[in-house]
Amino acid sequence: MTQHVSPIKRRISKQIMVGNVPVGGNAPISVQSMTNTLTTDVAATVAQIQALQRVGADIVRVSVPTMDAAEAFKLIRQQISIPLVADIHFDYRIALKVAEYGVDCLRINPGNIGKEDRIRAVVDCARDMNIPIRIGVNGGSLEKELMDKYGEPTAEALVESAMRHVDILDRLNFDQFKVSVKASDVFLAVDAYRLLAKQIEQPLHLGITEAGGFRAGAVKSAIGLGMLLADGIGDTLRVSLAADPVEEIKVGFDILKSLRIRARGINFIACPTCSRQEFDVIGTVNALEQRLEDIITPLDVSIIGCVVNGPGEALVSDLGLAGANRMSALYENGERVGRLDNNELLDQLEARIRAKASQLDQE
């Protein structure tokens, strides 16, 4: 049931604030995504951020490649309540501009800003305005010297690159930052994060970058992030999919749910079905997932096709259904509480699940 706790022992990290969302320390691991609209299309970007917020995004990143995009960011900021991170490469003036417009975090690598006075201008501004920075190293864009030194992106190369940026911030006495060392290869990313986790106490932003399309990318991310999270590494995460960013948030929560790190919404336990099934399990689960997307209360619901595994799964679920001939058995907190007509399962299950969620909300 939902009281199961994760056995994972989390790495101790320093806590920073991204707007009103704490990242690191004992804060819940936050789930973030990034818009893929044109930032200058304010209406489309606001709509996408709101869609991400509806499925639970804690933080959203927006790329700000130009001064026009910075002006658009100002208008977006005014319409959005959750923390926004501006993704900036190289141009320090854009960083200063979005800081003025209320950004909650700057994703900018200090070593890429250029001259010392420009780096100092950005860091001083971040310090004065309480804006954290994310150092984001990516296996696809390692510095040329590091590629020459290591021959290819390696975990050591990613960490050395990250530490160059970390050293710049250290030198300027700025410690409000988090770091990512992403790669599209699972082992490379995992090794880099493990190495980095031993070297700094700042929070880590996890991601398997450019993971791929929806299915393969979700699997790759679940494996990579899962290995790290199981080690206790990671304070915020982004699943990168070549898909609707809304799916990134859903997959991010599914990963945290699977490891019992952070619950949100319904955790469906469903059997794969076989010829013993007494009702259409797959159709029922798919329809319930869609109908109940708005539920944020953590709830374990088992939908099982027959009595082989139905009663057993129901024992460890908040609500459980075990398929039986014509009328399936309904369980609540492991106790059998009634039977539901197999021809009317959907509406009845939806109503029962909603009632259980509001009961838990009031407890």
Residues near ligand SF4 (CB under 6 A): 271-274, 276-277, 304-306, 308-309
Rounded to a whole number of angstroms, the minimum distance from the CB of residue 55 to ligand SF4 is 29
Residue closer to ligand SF4 by CB (options 133, 271) is: 271
Neighbours of 230 (CB within 10 A): 14
For 164, counting Cβ atoms within 10 Å of its Cβ (0-12 exposed, 13-18 middle, 19+ buried), the class is middle
Q: Quote the tokens at residue 36.
A: 């893929």
Residue closer to ligand SF4 by CB (options 160, 300) is: 300
Determine the 3-state secondary structure of 43 from DSSP. helix
Residue closer to ligand SF4 by CB (options 274, 351) is: 274
Residue with the CB atom nearest ligand SF4 in the bound state: 305
Tokens 């800003």 map to which residue?
113
Residue closer to ligand SF4 by CB (options 172, 315) is: 315
Beta strands (DSSP E) in the chain are 16-18, 21-23, 30-34, 59-63, 84-87, 105-107, 133-138, 177-182, 205-206, 236-238, 266-270, 299-304, 319-322, 327-332, 335-341
Rounded to a whole number of angstroms, the minimum distance from the CB of residue 226 to ligand SF4 is 25
Tokens 């689960």 map to which residue?
285
Q: Residues marked as binding?
A: 271, 274, 306, 313
Q: Residues marked as binding for [4Fe-4S] cluster?
A: 271, 274, 306, 313
Residue closer to ligand SF4 by CB (options 79, 325) is: 325
Rounded to a whole number of angstroms, the minimum distance from the CB of residue 305 to ligand SF4 is 3
Residue closer to ligand SF4 by CB (options 219, 324) is: 324
d(CA 18, CA 4): 29
Residue 305 backbone phi and psi in degrees, to 5: -70, -20
d(CA 157, CA 175): 22
Rounded to a whole number of angstroms, the minimum distance from the CB of residue 296 to ligand SF4 is 28
Beta bridge partners of 300: 267
Q: Quote the tokens at residue 103.
A: 């950004």
Provide DSSP, 83-103: -EEEE--S-HHHHHHHHHTT-
Q: 240: which residues sit within 8 A by CB, 6+ positions away?
A: 182, 207, 208, 209, 210, 211, 217, 221, 248
Rounded to a whole number of angstroms, the minimum distance from the CB of residue 341 to ligand SF4 is 18
Residue closer to ligand SF4 by CB (options 15, 277) is: 277
Q: Quote the tokens at residue 143.
A: 């510095």
d(CA 7, CA 28): 15
Residue 346, sorted as left (phi over 0), alpha (psi -120 to 50) or beta, turns out to be alpha
Rounded to a whole number of angstroms, the minimum distance from the CB of residue 346 to ligand SF4 is 18
Residue closer to ligand SF4 by CB (options 308, 327) is: 308
